[in-house]
Structure 1
Amino acid sequence: MSRVARRRDPETTHHIMCRSISEVQLFRFDDDKVKYLQLMALYCKKFECSILSYCLMDTHVHIQLDPQGCDISKFMHGLNLCYAQYYNRKYKRHGHVFQGRFINKVIDVDDYNLIVSAYIHNNANDLPDFRDCVHTYYFSSYGIYLGNYSDNYGILNTDFILSQFGNSPETAQVQYAQFVTSCNNVTQKDKQFEIIDSYIYNEPYEYRSERFIYYRDLTPGKVIEIVAEAFDIQTPNFIKNKYSHSISEFKAICVFLMRCLCDYTYTDICKELGNLTLSEVSNLTSRGFVLIQSEPKFKNLLATTT
C-alpha cells in the first residue's frame, strides 16, 4: 500500500510526535534526552526554525515546531537520524530506533496552537514523579515558560504563546499556567476548542501573530548574487570553478544558503554548481553553517536573503 503524502504547510506550525520501536526505550538515561535537545538546537540553527513547545518522554517525543518556511521532513529526518546514530553507537546496537515515520498534525487554526502547547506540557503527568507537578519536569519546555528553567539550548520561542495571555511577562505566565492546568486530562481529539472557548473568550483576548517566516523560494542564482555582493565579488559565476580555493568561504556560504533557503538537496546543488561530489557539498554546507553562526560579518546574510 502506498503511503499517504505528508501535509507540509511550511508557513504553519506543526505538532510532531515520534516514537521508538516497541523493543527500544528511546531515552535510557537523562543524558540521552540532553543529547536529543542538543541535536534539536543544532538543527533549529541549520534550518532557521524554532520550537514553541516540547516534551521528551521515555519512549516518545512531542514537538510543536514553527518551521518558519523550512521543510519539516528534512528537519526531522536529520534530527532523528543523528540521534539514532548516537544511540546505536552508545548502546552497541544496529537497526532502527524510531517507529516508522514521525506523525505530524498541521496547526492551521490559530487558537489550536494554545491547546497543543498545553497538551504537550501536560504529558509529564504520565510520569509518577511529576504527576500534578509537570512544571518541574526538566525535559519539557513548560518550566522555561514559567521561568523555572533557562532555555540553555536556545531553541524555544515562548513569546508567541505567552503573548496571547497578557502584555506583561508576569501576567502571561500566571494566565498560561492556569490555562495548562485547565487543559489537564483533555486529549487533542476531545473538546479541542471547548476549553479555549470557556477559558480564553471569557477573558480579554486578542490574537497577535508574532511569528517570523523565512520565505524559501529563492533561486540559487539569486543567493549567489546576494552573497557575491556581500563579498564584493564582481563575477560570481566562477563559483563553479572547482579549484578556486580563494573563494572557499564564498562557496561554503552559498551552498549552505541553497540548502536552507532554496530547499535544495545535496544532489540538486551538485547539479546546479557542477564539479562537486555529495561529500564535498556536505562539507561545504557544514562549513557555511559554522561561518554564518560564528562570523559577525556573515550573520546578516540570512536576513538579507529573505
Structure 2
Amino acid sequence: MAGRSRGIQGHHNSCYLDATLFAMFTFTSVFDSLLYRPPEPEDCAQYSEVQRVLREEVVNPLRKHGYVRADRVMKLRTLLERLSDVPGLTSEEKDPEEFLNGLVAQILRAEPFLKLSSGQESYCYQLFVEKDESVSLPTVQQLLEQSFATSGVKLSEVPAALIIQMPRFGKNYKLYPRLLPSPLLDVTDLIEGLPRQCTVCGALARWECAACAGRCGAGLESTAFCAPCLRLAHRPRPHHQATPLAVSEELTTILESCPVPRVYMELFAVLCIETSHYVAFVKAGAGNDAPWCFFDSMADRKGTCL
C-alpha cells in the first residue's frame, strides 16, 4: 500500500470521505456487514445500488489493487447527496460524522454500533469533558473515562466498533492542543453488567461508588469495590452512596477463585484534521508490532489535475 497512487484518489473536497473510507475498509473487516446486508422493505429504492457501488467500486478495488479512482468515489458521493439529507456531499467540505450519518444511518440503515444504558443508541461517541488544567497531554483512555463518569451512563454491551470524537468545537476551538492516542482501550469499567475487580484487593467487585474515583487508584477502575474494601474506604466518608454491581451467579462462582478478566479494544485508525483537510493514520494489521500507514488522498495532486 505504500507509495504514490495508492489508497483513494482525492478530488473536489473529498478528503473527509476518502480518509474515512480508507480507515473503515482497507485493513479491517469490522464494517463489512454494511456491504452485504440484504435489502429490506423499509430500505430506499436505491439501497442495493448504493451498497453495490460501495462494495464493488470502492472497497473491492481498494483491497485488490490498493487504489480507487476519484470517479468511482464520485458515484458514491452523488448517490449520497441525492438520497440523504446532507447537502453538498459532492462539492463542499464536510466532517466524517456527516458522511457516516448519511451513508450508515440514513441509507444503509445499519444497527447502531453503540447501545447505552440510558436506552440511547449511536454510531459514534462524542467526548464532553471539562478541561483539567493539571493535565497537559491527556490520553484517550483518560478522556473517555472522564466523559462516561460525567454523563453517568455506561455501554450496555461491548461494541464491535467504537468511534470516538475528540473534544473540539468548530475550526478554532480545541479543548487540548494535542492528545495521546491509547493503542489499547480498557473498556471493562464502561460496560454495564461486566465483571469488575476491586480497586483495593483485586477480588470480584460488588459495589461501585462514583464519588470515590481517584482515591484508591486512577480512572473508573478506582470506583469498584468488594464489600469489605468498600466498608474500609467509606469509613472516613460516610456521606458517599455506593450502588450494587450486577454480576450473574455463574460468573460469580468462577470469578471468586480466579482473576477478573479485563476487556480491551484495539486502536486501528485515527482521523486528523488541520486547516480543513482530513488525513488518516491506519494500522495495517493486528497486534502490537503491526505497522501503521499515513494516508492523504490529496498527496498525489499536481496543479489542478486529478
Band of TM-score, shorter chain: under 0.3
Q: Which structure has the higher relative contact order (CA within 8 Å, separation 6+)? A: 2
TM-score between the two structures when normalised by the length of structure 1:
0.24
Higher Cα Rg, which structure? 2
Q: Which has the higher strand share?
A: 2
Q: Which has the higher helix share?
A: 1
TM-score between the two structures when normalised by the length of structure 2:
0.24
